[in-house]
């Protein structure tokens, strides 16, 4: 494996990040160069894994074949995005447990496209999003004196908030694929069914459902944000920007009157730039959670 091979691999991760998540690309631009390259390699792996199950005819056998490819060392990786990620995984000793759990979560999109209750959906959000934060922590680093287990509950909660935001933004796109992620118990609370979402129902019931889920997401963000103060100082602006720019998507959903079937709520590049000064001020003024009062997530993760 040559330097050129690795340069090409990291360039591919950079391209995947830039083309698929402008919010993440903007936020990670605030990281130091080495961490920025590493985190975008992580994104390249995550995005490539997610894209696998969005292909027509994807099977669980495809997922298991992918799992075996992902596990290969960097020197044996034929695919650029996986070569970059394997190099970073080895360099930072990332716990393979979270890599495996992310693949487990993505596999659910093949066989399970309905969730009965919030705890079921919360578990899915952990698998496909919180694991990304847990894999990030060895790369971006923690504040002096902070342990992985102290910071993990906040990373988990933030991952769930980010994924729930994705789900709310993508209700229309998911319905077009025959997918309904919002829990059946929440739909029933407002007199709705999965078939209503598949049929694009947009009425007072749907609006109240979306308001309910947005409140849940905002509460998750509020309880996750103090954990940013547990990260290394160099990492806080990027993680804070990612969290707060994603949280702003909830405002955009409200601004389009919850018409998520017809439009994809997003913040423009200019909006992101205008928000950054306030975001950075918020991040730098966050108080770390008291070590005696660290909240423990129902979804536990440890470094073991």
Q: Residues 204-241: pLDDT tens digits? A: 999 999 999 999 999 999 999 999 999 999 999 999 98
The token pair at 22 is 């402008």
Q: Are residues 166 and 118 in the same domain?
A: yes
Q: Are residues 181 and 63 in the same domain?
A: no
Is residue 106 one of the residues assigned to a domain? no
Taking residues 241-260, report their average pLDDT: 93
Q: Give the count of domains, the chain.
A: 2
Is residue 28 one of the residues assigned to a domain? yes
Owning domain of residue 25? 1-92
Q: Are residues 50 and 148 in the same domain?
A: no
Cross-strand partners of 231: 142
Is residue 8 one of the residues assigned to a domain? yes
Tell me how far apart the alpha carbons of residues 249 and 171 are, in angstroms, rounded to a whole number: 13
Contact 168, 207 (CB under 8 A): no
Is residue 105 one of the residues assigned to a domain? no
Is residue 149 one of the residues assigned to a domain? yes
Per-residue pLDDT tens digits for 90-117: 999 999 999 999 999 999 988 767 899 9
- In this prediction, residue 269 carries a pLDDT of 65
In SS3 terms, the chain reads as: CCHHHHHHHHHHHHHHHHHHCHHHHHHHCCCCHHHHHHHHHHHHHHHHHHHHHHCCCCCHHHHHHHHHHHCCCHHHCCCHHHHHHHHHHHHHCCCHHHHHHHHHHHHHHHHCCCCCCHHHHHHHHHHHHHHHHHHHHHHHCECCCCCHHHHHHHHHHHHHHHHHHHHHHCHHHHHHCCCCCCCHHHHHHCCCCHHHHHCCCCCHHHHHHHHHHHHHHHHHHHHHHHHHHHECCCCHHHHHHHHHHHHHHHHHHHHCCCCCCCCCCCCCHHHHHHHHHHHHHHHHCCCCCCHHHCCCCCCCCCCC
Confidence of residue 271 (pLDDT cuts 50, 70, 90): low
Taking residues 240-253, report their average pLDDT: 92
pTM of the predicted model, to two decimals?
0.89
Backbone region of residue 200 per phi and psi (left: phi > 0; alpha: psi in -120 to 50; beta: other values): left
Per-residue pLDDT tens digits for 50-105: 988 877 788 999 999 999 999 999 999 988 999 999 999 999 999 999 999 999 99
User: Which of residues 123 and 113 earns the better pLDDT score?
Assistant: 123
Name residue, tokens 């093949």. 110
Q: Are residues 86 and 163 in the same domain?
A: no
Contact 65, 55 (CB under 8 A): no
| CATH classification of the domain holding 173 | 1.10.600.10
- In this prediction, residue 299 carries a pLDDT of 59
Is residue 100 one of the residues assigned to a domain? no
Q: Are residues 166 and 225 in the same domain?
A: yes
200 has pLDDT over 90:
yes
Is residue 101 one of the residues assigned to a domain? no
Tell me how far apart the alpha carbons of residues 233 and 211 are, in angstroms, rounded to a whole number: 34
Contact 101, 63 (CB under 8 A): no
Taking residues 185-198, report their average pLDDT: 97
With a pLDDT cut of 70, the percent of the chain lying above it is 90
Q: Are residues 3 and 83 in the same domain?
A: yes
Taking residues 232-259, report their average pLDDT: 92
Q: Are residues 124 and 54 in the same domain?
A: no
Tell me how far apart the alpha carbons of residues 113 and 177 are, in angstroms, rounded to a whole number: 10
- In this prediction, residue 266 carries a pLDDT of 67
Q: Are residues 137 and 85 in the same domain?
A: no
CB atoms within 10 A of CB 34: 11
Q: Are residues 286 and 223 in the same domain?
A: yes
In the listed set 61, 92, 123, which residue is the last one of a domain according to the structure? 92
Q: Are residues 165 and 74 in the same domain?
A: no
Is residue 80 one of the residues assigned to a domain? yes
Cα 108 to Cα 8, 80, 116, 249, 252: the distances in Å are: 31, 25, 14, 25, 28
Tell me how far apart the alpha carbons of residues 154 and 151 are, in angstroms, rounded to a whole number: 6
Q: Are residues 183 and 234 in the same domain?
A: yes
121 has pLDDT over 70:
yes
Mean pLDDT for the chain overall: 89
Q: Are residues 87 and 117 in the same domain?
A: no
């Amino acid at each position: 494996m040559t330097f050129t091979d690795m340069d090409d691999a990291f360039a591919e991760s950079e391209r995947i990040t830039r083309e698929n998540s402008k919010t993440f690309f903007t936020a990670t631009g605030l990281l130091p160069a080495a961490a920025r390259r590493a985190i975008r390699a992580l994104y390249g792996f995550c995005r490539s894994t997610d894209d696998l199950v969005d292909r027509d005819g994807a099977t669980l056998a495809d997922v298991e074949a992918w799992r075996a490819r992902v596990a290969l060392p960097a020197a044996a990786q034929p695919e650029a995005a996986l070569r970059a990620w394997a190099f970073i995984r080895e360099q930072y000793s990332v716990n393979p447990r979270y890599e495996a759990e992310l693949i487990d979560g993505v596999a659910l999109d093949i066989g399970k496209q309905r969730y009965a209750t919030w705890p079921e959906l919360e578990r899915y959000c952990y698998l496909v999003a919180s694991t990304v934060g847990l894999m990030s922590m060895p790369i971006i680093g923690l504040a002096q004196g902070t342990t992985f287990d102290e910071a993990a509950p906040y990373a988990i909660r933030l991952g769930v908030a980010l994924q729930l935001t994705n789900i709310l933004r993508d209700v229309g796109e998911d319905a077009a694929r025959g997918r309904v992620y919002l829990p059946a118990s929440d739909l029933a609370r407002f007199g709705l069914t999965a078939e209503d979402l598949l049929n694009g129902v947009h009425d007072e019931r749907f609006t109240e459902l979306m308001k309910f889920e947005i409140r849940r997401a905002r509460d998750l963000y509020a309880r996750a944000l103090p954990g940013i103060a547990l990260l290394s100082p160099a990492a806080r602006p990027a993680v804070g920007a990612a969290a707060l720019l994603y949280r702003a998507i909830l405002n955009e959903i409200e601004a389009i009157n919850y018409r998520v079937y017809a439009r994809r709520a997003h913040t423009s590049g200019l909006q992101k730039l205008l928000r950054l000064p306030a975001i950075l001020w918020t991040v730098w003024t966050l108080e770390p959670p008291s070590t005696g009062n660290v909240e423990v997530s129902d979804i536990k993760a440890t470094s073991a």
